[in-house]
Copies of this chain bind each other. A is one copy, B any other.
Amino acid sequence: MKTERITAGLSIKRSVDAGTEDQQQIVRAIISEVKEKGDYALFAYTEKFDGAKLSSLKVTREEINEAYETLDDEMISIIREAAENIASFHAKQKRETWLYTNADGSILGQKMTPLDSAGVYVPGGTAAYPSSVLMNVMPAKTAGVERIVMVSPPGSNGKLPAGVLVAADIAGVKDIYKVGGAQAVAALAYGTESIKAVDKITGPGNIFVALAKREVFGDVDIDMIAGPSEIAVLADESASAKEVAADMLSQAEHDKRASAVLVTTSQDLAQAVAREIEKQLKSLPRSEIARASIDDYGAIYVAETMEEAVQTINELAPEHLEIMTEGALELVKDIKHAGAIFVGRYSSEPVGDYFAGPNHVLPTNGTARFSSPLSVDDFMKKSSIIMYSKQAFDQHGAKIAAFARLEGLEAHARAIEARND
């Protein structure tokens, strides 16, 4: 891995799959088929794409019990503890309704209401992550969403992975359906005989899932469309090359298009991390993926000063940022754009991926400039409350009518004046 000095206008090399016209056509066809034929289409697509001939889409209590028997007790208790940590962090995000009264007696406020329902998409195969189930479901649960529906494509044996089922059960999901792909998104958006439509769909998926979410957006809400995962490490000479390299590789093993970047003020660290990455790569089970990611999307940049390094991080707006420097916490105030900030050497990224409590669904591809981690806010909505008093109305009515007339909206002015007689 080469180390380079920072040059102006730096940005991570990023790869976002926007899908082809063909893929969009396929997705639109699937959605209209599901709209038209409901469950029948879901069974047919599940047989076609997942190789599973199902008699029922809904996961039964027996299947969940079986999943619990498959996992060892220690693992179950780890998932449970992670769920509690996530619930506890997200509870702090929850906002309550507020109202206040002005001197003129009018009342203004903001009512917070959970969404009625949410659908969580969980990918199948090797990307079936119990942690992702927790991270998507717990914020909805904490928000107070009453009906949470989970969908996930079954294996060809017609089953979902034990870890996924146990995590869903621990998170409190009652309705789990064995269906994936664009057809699952369509079912969540428009409903079928088995699956009642939801108000919002979250969760990662392949390009067909992403395109389907984009397609149904507006009829229902969706979360962001995630790109490949990214990490940036901001480090000085106090950091351990071994730890920095290990953290960069933990990101690189996700995906050949994942990105791992080090920005450091230390030329020595830069070189040592480059060597460590080579060394550690060799013994990784997913070394082929990690190798491709490091070669194509990995980078090490050396900055003259910490100020320059921080500015570079803000330009990158990474999904994950680790700060491994002296006085790391002090630097947090200078970070403007990052999905999650991991501070100090004991905050290796997997701490946040699985366990600490903050959400691991984070803005990728530079969207940390304007987007946020998945949170309780995403499962609640606000309604404004306006209760004008007679006093306020008498005081301000004529001004409001004048403003309406400035905009040429006479009926607005008359609505105010209708109260005067």
Using a CB–CB cutoff of 8 Å, the interface residues on chain A facing chain B are 16, 74-75, 78-79, 81-82, 89, 92-93, 95, 98, 100, 106-108, 110-111, 113, 115-116, 126, 129-131, 163, 199-200, 218, 220-221, 225, 240, 242-243, 246-247, 249-250, 252-254, 280, 284-286, 290, 328-329, 332, 335-359, 362-363, 367-373, 375, 377, 381-390, 392-393, 396, 399-404, 406-416, 418-419, 421
Judging by beta carbons under 8 Å apart, are B115 and A386 in contact? no
Judging by beta carbons under 8 Å apart, are A386 and B341 in contact? yes
Judging by beta carbons under 8 Å apart, are B351 and A410 in contact? no
Q: How far is the CA of A95 from the CA of B92 in the complex (A)?
A: 12
Q: How far is the CA of A181 from the CA of B225 in the complex (A)?
A: 26
Judging by beta carbons under 8 Å apart, are B418 and A370 in contact? no
Known: A108-B356, A246-B414, A351-B393. A75 touches B406 (CB 8 A): yes
Return chain B residues, CB-CB under 8 Å to A89: 108
Closest A-B pairs by Cβ, 5 of them: A358-B384, A343-B387, A246-B418, A372-B382, A346-B393
Q: How many monomers of this protein are in the complex?
A: 2
Judging by beta carbons under 8 Å apart, are A130 and B343 in contact? no
Return chain B residues, CB-CB under 8 Å to A419: 243, 345-346, 348
Option from B98, B220, B328, B406 in Cβ contact (under 8 Å) with A130? B406
Option from B107, B243, B338, B388 in Cβ contact (under 8 Å) with A418? B243
Chain B: which residue is nearest A335 at the CB level? B383
Known: A350-B404, A411-B249. A106 touches B388 (CB 8 A): no
Judging by beta carbons under 8 Å apart, are A387 and B347 in contact? yes
Judging by beta carbons under 8 Å apart, are A388 and B346 in contact? yes
Q: Is the interface of A mostly helix, strand, loop or mixed?
A: mixed
With A286-B409, A356-B386 known, 11 other A-B pairs at CB within 8 A are A16-B218, A74-B402, A129-B407, A253-B411, A335-B383, A341-B383, A341-B386, A346-B389, A352-B384, A359-B384, A362-B384
Q: How far is the CA of A358 from the CA of B370 in the complex (A)?
A: 23
Return chain B residues, CB-CB under 8 Å to A410: 253, 284-286
Q: How far is the CA of A247 from the CA of B412 in the complex (A)?
A: 7
Q: How far is the CA of A321 from the CA of B200 in the complex (A)?
A: 23
- Can you name 9 A-B pairs with beta carbons within 8 Å? A79-B403, A82-B403, A115-B369, A130-B407, A243-B415, A280-B411, A284-B414, A290-B411, A353-B404
Judging by beta carbons under 8 Å apart, are B343 and A414 in contact? no
Option from B328, B370, B421 in Cβ contact (under 8 Å) with A381? B370
Chain B: which residue is nearest A417 at the CB level? B246
Option from B225, B355, B406, B412 in Cβ contact (under 8 Å) with A350? B412
Q: How far is the CA of A381 from the CA of B337 in the complex (A)?
A: 9
- Counting chain B CB atoms within 10 Å of each CB, the highest count among A368, A404, A410 belongs to A410
Known: A393-B346, A400-B354. A414 touches B82 (CB 8 A): no
Option from B355, B413, B414 in Cβ contact (under 8 Å) with A396? B355
Return chain B residues, CB-CB under 8 Å to A399: 78, 81, 355
Q: How far is the CA of A190 from the CA of B107 in the complex (A)?
A: 42
Return chain B residues, CB-CB under 8 Å to A110: 92-93, 358
Return chain B residues, CB-CB under 8 Å to A356: 106, 108, 386, 388
Known: A414-B250, A419-B346. A352 touches B403 (CB 8 A): no
